[in-house]
A and B are shown apart, each in its own frame.
Chain A
Amino acid sequence: MKNKRWIVYAACAVVILISPAALNRYWTDVLNVIGLYVMLALSLNIILGHCGMFHMGHAAFYAVGAYTTAILNTAYGIPVLWLMPLSGLLAGLFALVIARPIIHLRGDYLLIVTIGFVEIVRIALINNIFGITGGANGIFGIDRPTIFGMKISTPGQFFYLIWFFVAVTIYLFRKLEHSRFGRALNYIREDDVAAAGSGIDTGHYKLIAFVIGAVWAGFCGTLFAAKMTIIAPESFNFWESVLLFMIVLLGGRGSIAGVILGTFLVIGLPEIFRQFATARMLVFGVVMVAMMIFRPEGILPPPPRTYRLDGDTGPEEAA
């Protein structure tokens, strides 16, 4: 049962990795966009999926990362990939500052406040805050990334750059899930009074979940800026946040495989059915309602964690 799942995962990974060979530039680029959304949605999954906080402002952190990279690259010529850690750090700091006062808010209130944040950030960018964001036109002329002197510019090259980071993210987040930290987030999601009663500092963990999610969104911002070479406030609007939110709920809260599948469905399918583009909202709406009724846990909810136990507690726990 468990092995079977791993075979499926491995097969999917291989198919994705060799697919650029069979795809034209356009479809390779679609995969690149999907890769970016996978990374973003996985970072939101920490906050929304694992910790259960209704955060609909993730695009704000993505924007901080993208603008950090864009501004420092265009103004000082610092190579974009070098700016990735800093972009993540600043997005994380930003999250620390804005999340601290709102972290204790209950689900629906948090939702409203985070929607507010993403709008504030977008409007601040449009209004050319500090005179460095370029207003509504945004920032252009961002350099392409280089790796060991090789310039990354074609969709095929970006494919391997982006999916490399996706792979690293999956690897690290899988470990994060299977740890004291990951469990603490789940306890909080299930019942935060019981979590506190079991000795967990709920406020602290909620904040750290926010910061980790934001740091990763900041990393994604760097990749996005490098891929586009031009960024504008409209790339970080409320709709982006909603899409990410939907991906996590649809795919399965707290499930890496679910979130990846959810991204292919929410971002990939509309590309395939382009002729029905106008019906997109309607389809999403219907699908979400159907999900909430028939499969509220998402398409691929996470299986329970397994643990390696000493044989003396019964046969069923073989990890």
Chain B
Amino acid sequence: MTLLHLENLTKRFGGLIAVNDVSFDVPEGAIVGLIGPNGAGKTTVFNLITGNYRADSGKIVFDGRPINNLPTHKIVSLGIARTFQTIRLFQKLTALENVLSGCHCRMKSGSIAAMFQPPWQRAEEQKALDKALSELRFVKLAEQAMNLAENLSYGNQRLLEVARALATEPRLIILDEPAGGMNDQETARLIDTIRQIQARGVTVLLIEHDMSLVMKACEQIVVLENGGKIAEGTPSEIKANRRVIEAYLGTDEE
């Protein structure tokens, strides 16, 4: 079954066409990779999916429902969570509170309930706390719960973003270069984590530069170049694709 369906997506920035008529599907339960040279438009595709940018034309359908014009927080509550290419944690807050932000969209209590704290509100807080802790445990950061996000190592900050995204209880998680800045050991751990996310029944769409990670983790790969889709297929098909090889060699020469 298709969970996410992109159809003829186009996004322009002034004269620049960042995403040009891109279509692809993400099947439910899969791990799909989105690759391409720098500036190919991968992050822009993510920003279109999450409602950070509005597409100039095309359609985004999630679980049978068009989400083109929904605000970001609605899209999150429908079940799409993301991480950012450049880490965007709440640096001055604790790791625990960073993850609690993800629980927000599954909670109800507002300002009045906060001031008077009826039992249901306290129960809800406790539930969110338990959820946040279990996500921290999932990415093996439980010991860091009370440390400020800014004091975590770079690799751990990336994992903390993953935990925050998972706390929204997504059906699809989209990861923008999750291995960026990680060493080999951390990357291996990340691949493990991504597999475990899939095992939880969450579909994964990821952008990655580290080809070994992409080839190891993804079942299906979509390749972008200059905003357009140039290839799509299994890792072995992509490895053998002439246009993909050219695209990557092209960037190496720059």
A residues engaging B (CB < 8 A)? 172-173, 175-176, 178-184, 186-187, 190-191, 193-202, 208, 212, 304-310, 312-314, 316-317
A187 to B116 alpha-carbon distance, docked (Å): 22
Q: Determine whether the beta carbon of A179 is less than 8 Å from that of B145.
A: no
Q: Determine whether the beta carbon of B115 is less than 8 Å from that of A194.
A: no
Q: Determine whether the beta carbon of A196 is less than 8 Å from that of B72.
A: yes
**Interface mask (B227-252 → A, CB under 8 Å = 1, otherwise 0):** 00000000000000000000000000
Closest A residue, CB atoms, query B72 = A196
The reply to whether the CB of B64 lies closer than 8 angstroms to some CB of chain A is no
> Which listed residue (B52, B92, B114, B129) contacts A181, Cβ 8 A?
B114
Minimal beta-carbon separation of A257 from chain B (angstroms): 18
Minimal beta-carbon separation of B219 from chain A (angstroms): 26
Q: Determine whether the beta carbon of A180 is less than 8 Å from that of B142.
A: no
Contacts of A197 in B (CB 8 A): 50, 52, 72, 76, 81-82, 84, 88
The secondary-structure label for the interface of chain A is helix
A196 to B100 alpha-carbon distance, docked (Å): 14
A12 to B25 alpha-carbon distance, docked (Å): 63
> Which listed residue (A173, A178, A308, A317) contacts B145, Cβ 8 A?
A317
> Which listed residue (B52, B104, B115, B168) contacts A184, Cβ 8 A?
B104
Q: Determine whether the beta carbon of B114 is less than 8 Å from that of A194.
A: no
Contacts of A310 in B (CB 8 A): 130, 133
Q: Determine whether the beta carbon of B115 is less than 8 Å from that of A175.
A: yes
Minimal beta-carbon separation of B129 from chain A (angstroms): 6
Contacts of B143 in A (CB 8 A): 313-314
Chain B CB within 10 Å — which of A176, A195, A313, A316 has the most?
A: A313
The secondary-structure label for the interface of chain B is helix
Minimal beta-carbon separation of B197 from chain A (angstroms): 17
Contacts of B168 in A (CB 8 A): 198-199
A288 to B150 alpha-carbon distance, docked (Å): 26
A183 to B125 alpha-carbon distance, docked (Å): 12
Closest A residue, CB atoms, query B169 = A199
A312 to B134 alpha-carbon distance, docked (Å): 11
Q: Determine whether the beta carbon of A191 is less than 8 Å from that of B90.
A: yes
A196 to B82 alpha-carbon distance, docked (Å): 11
> Which listed residue (A212, A304, A314) contacts B111, Cβ 8 A?
A212
Kindly identify, within residues 106 to 129 of chain B, every residue whose CB is under 8 Å from any CB belonging to chain A. Answer: 107, 109-111, 113-117, 121, 124-125, 128-129
B residues engaging A (CB < 8 A)? 50, 52, 71-73, 76-77, 81-82, 84, 88-94, 96-97, 100-102, 104-105, 107, 109-111, 113-117, 121, 124-125, 128-130, 133, 136-137, 142-143, 145-146, 148, 164-165, 168
Contacts of A173 in B (CB 8 A): 115
Q: Determine whether the beta carbon of A180 is less than 8 Å from that of B109.
A: yes
Known: A190-B92, A193-B88. A198 touches B102 (CB 8 A): yes
Q: Given known contacts A181-B110, A198-B81, what 13 new A-B pairs fall within 8 Å (CB)?
A: A173-B115, A175-B115, A179-B111, A179-B117, A180-B109, A180-B125, A184-B104, A196-B76, A198-B165, A200-B73, A202-B73, A304-B97, A317-B145
Closest A residue, CB atoms, query B114 = A179
> Which listed residue (B76, B90, B136) contacts A187, Cβ 8 A?
B90
Closest B residue, CB atoms, query A317 = B146
Minimal beta-carbon separation of B157 from chain A (angstroms): 12
Contacts of B90 in A (CB 8 A): 186-187, 190-191, 194-195
A307 to B128 alpha-carbon distance, docked (Å): 11
Closest B residue, CB atoms, query A185 = B111
A195 to B88 alpha-carbon distance, docked (Å): 9
Minimal beta-carbon separation of B127 from chain A (angstroms): 11
A200 to B88 alpha-carbon distance, docked (Å): 15
Q: Determine whether the beta carbon of A180 is less than 8 Å from that of B73.
A: no
CB pairs A–B below 8 angstroms (14 shown): A175-B115, A178-B114, A179-B113, A179-B114, A180-B124, A182-B114, A183-B101, A197-B82, A197-B88, A198-B81, A198-B105, A200-B73, A304-B146, A308-B129
Q: Determine whether the beta carbon of A183 is less than 8 Å from that of B72.
A: no
Q: Determine whether the beta carbon of A314 is less than 8 Å from that of B105.
A: no
A199 to B100 alpha-carbon distance, docked (Å): 11
Q: Determine whether the beta carbon of A314 is less than 8 Å from that of B142.
A: yes
Contacts of A314 in B (CB 8 A): 142-143, 145
A13 to B108 alpha-carbon distance, docked (Å): 34
> Which listed residue (A194, A305, A309) contacts B97, Cβ 8 A?
A305
Q: Determine whether the beta carbon of A199 is less than 8 Å from that of B76.
A: yes
Contacts of B76 in A (CB 8 A): 196-199
Minimal beta-carbon separation of B69 from chain A (angstroms): 15
Minimal beta-carbon separation of B14 from chain A (angstroms): 21
Contacts of B148 in A (CB 8 A): 304
> Which listed residue (B77, B88, B113, B116) contacts A199, Cβ 8 A?
B77
Q: Determine whether the beta carbon of A195 is less than 8 Å from that of B115.
A: no
Closest 4 CB pairs of A and B: A199-B105, A179-B114, A199-B76, A190-B90
